[in-house]
Amino acid sequence: MANIPSDFTVFDERFHQLVGPSPTLELLLEHHEYPFAHESGVYLPSTDEIFITSNQFTNSSGNRCIQISKISVGDGSQKATREEIPSGEIPMANGGINYKDGILFCAQGSMTKPGGLYHMSASPPYTNTLLISSFYGRQFNSLNDVVIHSDGSIWFTDPIYGYEQGYRPKPELPNQVYRYDPITQGIRAMADGFGRPNGIAFSPDEKIVYVTDTDWIHGDGSTDGMRASTIYAFDITYYSGQPFMINRRLFAMAANGIPDGIKCDMEGNVYSGCGDGINVWCPGGVLLGIIKVEGGAANFCFGREGSLYILNENRMWKAQLGKSVKGALLGI
């Protein structure tokens, strides 16, 4: 059995199989003017680039904003680089995912501009198109994270963090999960009963959808150990040709902070950015191990051959796992 670095905490022997014989954690980028590495984490295999969104900060004009960046990760012989992408037309961008020829962003919105789903091209001039901004006329709260089903439908979460943080109007909708069909332009509420629904991911076979509930921390920064810091699992079943989320169950709870961004590998293991780094559970909900990152991780993405890119606010890290590990989103 290989000795693994202290950055990797093992709770179950199966974690050794995931991280491989020589796991590493290296700092790729660091920037302290604002927290550039917060959400999204959309890896483009054709170019070895990653699109990310910052946390909120106040720009030189005194306005609260979020900055989209494009990271060129390099090949080991070259250092990673970062390019700021024009972000003003996508109000307070947050989660994102690969979509068609570009990136689909969740926009949280502002006091004057509704949030919604925006499709942005992956190359200059980075044009964007708004897909949807309301539930039959009722504005969404502040879209957070998004995933694409193989049938082409778009599933996303919509908590009220924007209102709590003072840049969105009073909510018109509950904290819910939605499904949008871009072909019919139909929108459905799929699941409710959350404190603050946040990350969302499908299992590799798309029979299960995972949703994180980050109610532990509210938009004003207050925390409460009695509130959910939880990953819920739902089975997907079909009635009259339409999917439903059923059999809601507690899959796992984060011991440190909240489970924010969430993704699966091709073996069905579940990864989530938590207060102590990337936590990894087996499909049965057993915590296998943690990739420890000081300050935690909001989100992350898989790259090629077991690489994992971790967003840590003012820092971006690369964890090298076993080269056979593949992310379920892209299957690479």
What pLDDT score was predicted for residue 308? 98
Asked if residue 241 has pLDDT above 80, the reply is yes
| Mean pLDDT, rounded, for 204-233 | 96
- Cα–chain center distance at 18: 21
Task: Give the Cα separation of 217 and 229 in Å (integer).
Answer: 8
Per-residue model confidence as pLDDT tens digits over 138-187: 999 999 999 999 999 999 999 999 999 999 999 999 999 999 999 999 99
For 52, phi then psi, to 5°, come to -135, 165
Task: Give the Cα separation of 58 and 21 in Å (integer).
Answer: 43
By C-alpha distance, which of 248, 311, 325, 312 is closest to 280?
325
Decide: helix, strand or coil at residue 109: coil
What pLDDT score was predicted for residue 271? 98
Q: Which domains does the chain have, with CATH numbers?
A: 34-264 (2.120.10.30)
Task: Give the Cα separation of 254 and 272 in Å (integer).
Answer: 9
What pLDDT score was predicted for residue 87? 85
Per-residue model confidence as pLDDT tens digits over 285-305: 999 999 999 999 999 999 999
Amino acid residing at 256: N
Count of CA atoms in the C-beta half-sphere (13 A) of 160: 15
Task: Give the Cα separation of 329 and 304 in Å (integer).
Answer: 12
pLDDT category of residue 215 using cuts at 50, 70 and 90: very high
What pLDDT score was predicted for residue 208? 98
What pLDDT score was predicted for residue 145? 98
- Cα–chain center distance at 55: 13
Low-confidence winner among 33-42, 66-75, 168-177, 258-267 (lowest mean pLDDT)? 66-75
What pLDDT score was predicted for residue 62? 87
Asked if residue 57 has pLDDT above 60, the reply is yes
Task: Give the Cα separation of 312 and 332 in Å (integer).
Answer: 23
What are the Cα distances from residue 223, in Å, to 163, 175, 192? 17, 18, 21
The structure tokens 């502040």 sit at: 142
E-only strand ranges, 182-314: 186-191, 197-202, 208-213, 230-239, 242-253, 262-264, 270-274, 277-281, 287-292, 299-302, 307-312
Asked if residue 46 has pLDDT above 80, the reply is yes
By C-alpha distance, which of 71, 103, 66 is closest to 88?
66
Count of CA atoms in the C-beta half-sphere (13 A) of 146: 28
What pLDDT score was predicted for residue 126? 95
Asked if residue 134 has pLDDT above 90, the reply is yes
What are the Cα distances from residue 73, in Å, to 36, 123, 141, 314? 15, 16, 33, 16
What pLDDT score was predicted for residue 137? 97
What pLDDT score was predicted for residue 41? 96
Per-residue model confidence as pLDDT tens digits over 249-281: 999 999 999 999 999 999 999 999 999 999 999
What pLDDT score was predicted for residue 2? 56
Query: Within the chain, how many helices (H) and strands (E) appear?
Result: 2, 29
Prediction pTM value: 0.97
Asked if residue 76 has pLDDT above 70, the reply is no
Please give the mean pLDDT across all residues of the chain. 96
By C-alpha distance, which of 99, 104, 106 is closest to 66?
106
Task: Give the Cα separation of 260 and 157 in Å (integer).
Answer: 12
Task: Give the Cα separation of 106 and 111 in Å (integer).
Answer: 16
